[in-house]
Every structure is written in C-alpha cells, then in structure tokens.
Structure 1
Amino acid sequence: MAGHRKGRPATGRKNPGRGSTPARPAPPRAGARTARPADAPADQPRPGPFRLGAVAGATPGKWIDTWSERMPRNPLEFIPLSAEEQIPAVHAALVDAAIVRLPADTGGLHVIRLYTEESVVVCARESHLTVADELSAADLAGETLIVPADDVLDVSVPGTVAPRFPRLETTEDAIATVATGVGITIVPMSLARLHRRKDVEHRPLRDGPTSPVALVWSAEREDPLVDTFIGIVRGRTARSSRG
C-alpha cells in the first residue's frame, strides 16, 4: 500500500539494547545509617547457650533462675566440673564462665570471689563426735582421717591417724566408708550436703580450713553473655546499667 513503510510496531516504550547497562541505585549519603536486619538489633547478645561450669557443691540455682527469666532466647547450659577440670575448662573455652574453688591458678582469668565455705567433720551417725554441736582439731585426736584423692581442702589435722587402706578416689567414697564406722572425713559444708546420707552426721570444725568459691572467666575473650551473667551475680536488675 502506498505511503506505508514496513517496520516494528510502535509500543510507546523504549527498548534498551543488549549493550545497555541497568541503572544503579544512588550511593548512600555521607553519614547515613545502614539499616540492620529486623532480627539482628544492635544490642542483641550472640545466639547459642551460655555455658556455665561449676564444681561439685556449688549452688548457682538462684542465678540460673534469674537468667531463665531474663534471657529466654539464650538458654543456660550447666556443666559440672571436677576440681581438676575447673580451670582448664575455662582456658579451653569448654565453658564461658565457671564457679570454682580456690586456691587455684587463675592467671589469665578474671575472678570474682563469691563466698567462703566453712569445713565440717563427717562421721558415722553413732560416733561419739555427734555429742558436740561443733568440733575443734583437738577433738579429733586419735581419729582415722580419710582424705580422698579429690580433696579440695588439702586438710591435715595433727593427732589424727592415716587409714590402713589405699587412698579412696572420691569424696562420695570417703563418706560411704565413714558411714560404716571407719574414720572421719573433712569437707566443705556443701559437699557434706551434696553427699548426705541417713547413716552419717556432720559437725562444724571450728578451726578448720575454709574453701573460697569464685566466679572466673577468660580475660582474653569478651562476651556479652558473660557480662550479663556477671550482672546477675552482682545483683544488677535487667534495667540497670553496667557498673
């Protein structure tokens, strides 16, 4: 038909060629904030559990309860430790913090002393030692003193007698032997309660050794979950500032 030229139909839109480059968004203005994802606020602690180690007899129950109320998205994992494991576990990052017994080599660790335990004499329920409300070292003269391999007091009482049998491995073994009427053992109060039996009694040792208990954590690693637990131990409320 005259006057009509062949060609592509008009679309009303520009068709970019193959070599064209799509428009790039403008760079952010100087000083502008970059938005964080909605699920990652700036003050959110790291994910995962907080691993708290503790030696036998430690009683962090009230702190664990407070943690559960305050940190529902960050569970606390309680890890029992022996006296030999308590410090190496912190250095090896097997736990984030630990409740330990002193004295111990705390080089490279932060230390908060929590409390000091008094020692008690554990004896058979029928022992003549139960007549007294508390005992002194002089009262133990002639008694067979059982000191297990996991002893935490490094206890030595002049006038006592060493057992005639091989050294027992654990405090629990020592208390079970005491229950048979063979000897006595001296332990921190919390261990006497931990291994409580109907056939034994314990009495405070007036001039006996003490057992300091402390919270320790690495001085080389910073962790907001550790900071939160320290705040709980120190009695800070959820709204109080760090101090």
Structure 2
Amino acid sequence: MTGSEESPAFRLAYVPGVTPSKWVRIWNERLPDVPLTLTTVSAAEAPGLLRARGADAGFVRLPIDRTDLSAIPLYTETTVVVIPKDHLVAAVEEVSAEELADEIVLHPLDDTLDWERPPGRPALERPATTEDAVELVAAGVGLLVVPQSLARLYHRKDLTYRTLTGVPESRVALSWAEEEIAPDLVEEFIGIVRGRTVNSSRGRTPTPPQPKTKRADKSGAPRKAAAGKSSGKASGKAAGKPGGKNARGGAGAPKSGAKRGKPRRP
C-alpha cells in the first residue's frame, strides 16, 4: 500500500428505529482491521444517500425507489398506536383500525407506513417529524400510528402504545448501490446480517482443512493400541500354558523322585 492510499473502511447508514449494534459487534470481531462508521439518516433521505455513495450500505424502510439500488428484506415490524397512558385504548392489548375511526390520528411528513388511507380523522396540520408527533400526542392533540421500534425510540413516561391490526406494517431491508464502491466489504456485511458463519464458503478467512496425515494418525492410533493389547493377551496365554504345565510337571517330579529314592527295609 502506498502512502497516498487510504485504509479500507466500511460506512453503514441506518434509519431511526433500527439497532445495528449486533451486526457492528460481529463486524469488529471478524474484521478488526477495517473500521466501520455509522451514520443516522431519515427514512426519506436514505435511498439518496446510498445512490450518492455517501454510505456503502444502509438499513432502510421499504418501500423505496429501487432505481440503481439493491435491497434484501430482513424483517417486518409490528404496527402500534401511541396513546396517553390514561386513554381508553390503554385498557386493551390490541385495537383495530376501525376502532380509531372517531380519533384524531396524526400523520407526520416522515411517516414510513405505506398507507392507502390512514385510520382515524386527520389533524388540521401534519407534523414535520415523528418525534414532533409524539410530543403532540403527549399534549393530548391526537394519536399516532408508527412501527413499534419508533414507539420505543421516542418513548415517554406519560405515553404507552398498543398493537394495531388491519394496517400496513413496516419492512426493514439492507440496501446498497448496485455499482458499489467496496463490493467485497458489502458482501462481508451481507453475510454477517444473514447469519453466515466465519467458516462459510463466502467467509473472509475460512478455516483451512486439516492435513490427511493427521487424520490418518489419529484414526490409526487406536488400531495400534488395540493390536498391542490383543497381542499382549495372546502372548500371555501362550506363555501361561507352558508355564502352567511346567509348574504342574515340576511339582509332580519330586513326588515320583521321592518314591524312587525311599530306602527299602532290610
């Protein structure tokens, strides 16, 4: 590497509500020589950032304009309604969109749900951001429908949320430019997100196979030990048979000798 070349790095963008810490930790363990930098970007701005090569890859919310972008859907989030803790809806575990028909439901400009028609009655004005909408819910202006991760991200002690049924759900995907700058690094991160192990055929440093000689030695050792054990038993029996006969024969010889050597009476 020459002095003018920069050290490799991987730039990862993510939208609010996504928590990339698990994948970042695995990256740092597997590629400690390649730093990973994080950038938070709004859901609306994420596709443009990737096209402009402002990040090598990013976690986005679908649907997005796929022009010049690739994407792998990862998971789907539960949709919830954010409400004051003393609201009637707080008494149940889940509520349907039809049950919010008489409620004012805020629809922020950065809303990520693919609505055909939002539930409830619209407010006079649309809040600029989801965070602004949460503040309005706390002020008693209306309710807010969001993916569950955003309800957790902007949590307040005076608010709670309940599962909302019969509405669109947010899908999170990993996306990157089709003509990426660092294809090898993008492939590495795709493997990490998909759960590919370090020993996978697409892994960066797969464990080399063990030499055949070692496997032969390992499998041959028990055979040698078994052969020695078997020969030991065989030799012991072979030695025991003559030894036993000699011992018995030796014991019988003095008896016959004593008979023949007994003095006769005159």
Query: So what's the TM-score if we normalise by structure 1?
Result: 0.77
How many angstroms apart in 1 are the aligned matches of 2:44 and 2:168?
A: 19
How many angstroms apart in 1 are the aligned matches of 2:42 and 2:88?
A: 33
| Contact 1:134–1:204, Cα closer than 8 Å, also in 2 | yes
Cα deviation per residue 1:111-133 (whole Å; 9 max; x = unaligned)?
Answer: 11100112100011111110110
Instruction: For 2:172, give the aligned amino acid.
Output: V
Instruction: For 1:66, give the aligned amino acid.
Output: I
User: Secondary structure, in 3 states, of the residue corresponding to 2:94?
Assistant: coil
Which structure 1 residue ranges, 4+ long, deviate > 6 Å from structure 2?
none
User: What does residue 89 of structure 1 align with?
Assistant: 49
User: What does residue 180 of structure 1 align with?
Assistant: 139
1:112 and 2:97 aligned: no
| Contact 2:63–2:114, Cα closer than 8 Å, also in 1 | no
How many angstroms apart in 2 are the aligned matches of 1:138 and 1:209?
A: 14
1:192 and 2:148 aligned: no
User: Secondary structure, in 3 states, of the residue corresponding to 1:135?
Assistant: strand
The structure whose Rg is larger is 2
User: Of the candidates 74, 77, 87, which is equivalent to residue 34 of structure 2?
Assistant: 74
User: What does residue 228 of structure 2 align with?
Assistant: none
Query: So what's the TM-score if we normalise by structure 2?
Result: 0.71
Instruction: For 1:201, give the aligned amino acid.
Output: T
Q: Structure 2: 5+ residue runs without aligned partners?
A: 204-266
If asked which structure has higher relative contact order (CA below 8 Å, sep 6+), I would say: 1
1:124 and 2:84 aligned: yes
| Contact 1:118–1:209, Cα closer than 8 Å, also in 2 | no
How many angstroms apart in 2 are the aligned matches of 1:235 and 1:154?
A: 28
TM-superposed deviation, 1:177:
0.9
How many angstroms apart in 1 are the aligned matches of 2:70 and 2:168?
A: 24
How many angstroms apart in 2 are the aligned matches of 1:118 and 1:187?
A: 9
User: Of the candidates 82, 85, 95, which is equivalent to residue 135 of structure 1?
Assistant: 95
RMSD value, Cα: 1.8
Aligned residues: 198
User: Secondary structure, in 3 states, of the residue corresponding to 2:33?
Assistant: coil
1:50 and 2:10 aligned: yes
How many angstroms apart in 2 are the aligned matches of 1:114 and 1:89?
A: 20
Instruction: For 1:240, give the aligned amino acid.
Output: S
1:163 and 2:145 aligned: no
TM-superposed deviation, 1:73:
1.1
| Contact 2:14–2:39, Cα closer than 8 Å, also in 1 | yes
TM-superposed deviation, 1:157:
3.8
